[in-house]
Amino acid sequence: MRSFRFVLLGGGLSSGYAAREFVKRGLGPGQLCIVTAEDVVAYERPALSKGYLNPVNAARLPGFHTCVGGGGPRQEPAWYAEHGVEYLTGATVTSVDISSRRLVLDNGEELTYTDKLIVATGARPARLEEVGIPGWDLKGVYYLRDIKDAVEIQAGIAECKARDGNALVIGAGYIAIEVAAGLCANGLHTTMVFPGGMLMDRMLPPEAACFYENYYERKGIEMCWGQRVTRLLGSDGLLEGVELDDGRVVEASMVLAGIGARINKELFVGQLDMSQGGIEVNGKFRTSHPDVYAVGDVAAFPLLRYGGYIQRQEHVTNARASAIHAVAAIMDPENTGDYDYLPFYYSRFFSLSWQFFGLNRGRGIMFGDQDMEKFGLYFVEEGRIVGAFLEGGSAEEFGWMKAVALQRPVAPHADDLVIKGLKYAQELATKPSEAS
């Protein structure tokens, strides 16, 4: 049995940012242990869908180890060794007993912590067998969550090209949209199947979502919207196609399933309070047990700037920021306030790049020019702007939109927002006291 002051369970990018914050705050060698089932130390997970499948200048490790995505140094294994952080890779935790502060690994080894446990277990892809789709075990079915998945998908692309060149993506979330772009860029004939009516329609109103739908169709990606996959078809163990609920059969020798995620909370059910599908925490990321903290996707925290309702945020920005905030709260509780997070999402695919700040509630008021691939929306609820979306902006312009979401100003007349568009955001960002 080995004992540490702190144990961090989970090797997602939160662990890299937490380790960096611990070191910045003077944690001594031998006091922190990170445990992960992955075979590599923490990396910037968005690179898997945004860069790894890119046929030109593809992202590869060690190039995207944390904390490069947040502007920090690249923390390769030597960094953790240099700072005395014990990093156990390829180690699966089979049980946790928070009353005795003990974790048991799949090899029988036990770890204990004397101070705090930080849970950063994240999520895993929902799998086709879980939703009862026959044929899920055929060769040619892929998911994307970790570096091992990305390597397998890259090999699957080559195999698909050697067979019929037909790939199919199930779903229309971020992973599905970005991977579909990657498969298409690699020369595969790509089809997307999803139950909704349009790409991006969960975030954007139809007049904006249609832009992305039309863009993907111009790239040659076929859309089977309003459809679900009922079964996967194949012979000799190899995938050959999928059947849709309207009876159509779509040929495919490669399927990427992006049908959602499952939060990795099972080790703590019955030991910690749960909420919103994850582990409930307070504004300092402390759980219902004072010596256990949770960060990243698994943590359900109060969203202070919107009334304090409990919500999980499955996004890289929250994974980074929540890890840093939790460590600050642990190491310097007197000078660390509650986490005040502005929801943020972004995506890049083909030549497009968008960012969204705040909430997509209320009425979406669109401005800009879709033909020029530069447009945005302000979301207005109860007379205030609560969210801001921009496609095709510069770093400075995205900063202006963030300022709008942060300030939540009283909304001008809708026509004024349409006419001023991005100029309104610039004015608010540069003269907040006058514009708000």
Q: Residues 123, 124, 127, 132: is their CA dihedral positive or negative?
A: negative
**Identity (one letter) of the amino acid at 341?**
Y
Give residue-wise pLDDT tens across range 292-337. 999 999 999 999 999 999 999 999 999 999 999 999 999 999 999 9
Structure tokens that stand for 51 in this block: 């860069």
Pairwise CA distance, residues 119 & 299, whole Å? 9
The kind and range of the H/E element at 240 are: strand 238-244
Measured N-to-C along each axis, helices 13-24 and 316-331 cross at an angle, to the nearest 10 degrees, of 30
Greatest pairwise CA separation for the chain in angstroms: 69
Report which secondary-structure segment, H or E, holds 421.
none
User: pLDDT tens-digit profile of 354-370?
Assistant: 999 999 999 999 999 99
Q: Number of helices (H) and strands (E), helices first, in the chain?
A: 11, 26
Helix, strand, coil percent content, the chain, rounded in steps of 5:
30, 30, 35
Whether a cis peptide bond, with omega within 30° of 0, leads into 67 is yes
Q: In what order do the strands lie in the sheet with 374-381?
A: 344-349, 352-358, 384-391, 374-381, 363-369
CB 144 within 8 A of CB 168: no
CA distance 260 to 280: 21
The DSSP result for 274-288, as a single string, is: EETTEEE--TT-B-S
pLDDT at residue 436 in the model: 39
Rounded to whole angstroms, how far apart are CA atoms 279 and 275? 6
The tens digit of pLDDT for each residue in 357-406 reads 999 999 999 999 999 999 999 999 999 999 999 999 999 999 999 999 99
pLDDT band at 425 (very low <50, low <70, confident <90, very high): very high
CATH fold, domain 351-435, is Enolase-like; domain 1 (3.30.390)
pLDDT digit string (tens) for 193-217?
A: 999 888 888 899 999 999 999 999 9
- Which class is domain 128-260? alpha beta
Calculate the alpha carbon distances from 163 to 150, 158, 166, 251, 351 in Å. Answer: 20, 9, 8, 11, 29
The residues near 263 (Cβ < 8 Å, ≥ 6 apart) are: 121, 122, 123, 277, 278, 297, 298, 312
The radius of gyration computed from the CA coordinates of the chain, to the nearest angstrom, equals: 23
The reported pLDDT for the residue numbered 433 is: 53
Share of the chain above pLDDT 90, in %: 95
Rounded Cα–Cα distance for residues 61 and 51 (Å): 11
Contact 175, 152 (CB under 8 A): no
Q: Do 2-122+264-335 and 128-260 share a fold?
A: yes
Architecture of domain 2-122+264-335: 3-Layer(bba) Sandwich (3.50)
Q: How far apart are CA 289 and CA 365, in angstroms?
A: 44
Domain ranges of the chain: 2-122+264-335, 128-260, 351-435
> What tens digit of pLDDT does each residue of 255-278 get?
999 999 999 999 999 999 999 999
State residue 432's pLDDT score.
55
The answer to pTM > 0.85 is: yes
Q: Produce one character per residue of 213-238: b if its CB has 16 or more CB atoms within 10 Å, e if not.
A: bebbeeeebebbeebebebbbbeeee
DSSP 139-203: BTEE--SSHHHHHHHHHHHHHHHHTT-EEEEE--SHHHHHHHHHHHHTT-EEEEEESSSSTTTTT
Q: How confident is the model at residue 435 (pLDDT cuts 50, 70, 90)?
A: very low
- For residues 45, 47, 53 and 59, what is the CA-based torsion angle, rounded to 10 degrees? -120
Which residue, chain included where needed, has tokens 């402390």? 286
- pLDDT > 70: percent of the chain: 99
Question: Comparing 80-84, 252-256, 389-393, 430-434, which segment has the lowest mean pLDDT?
Answer: 430-434
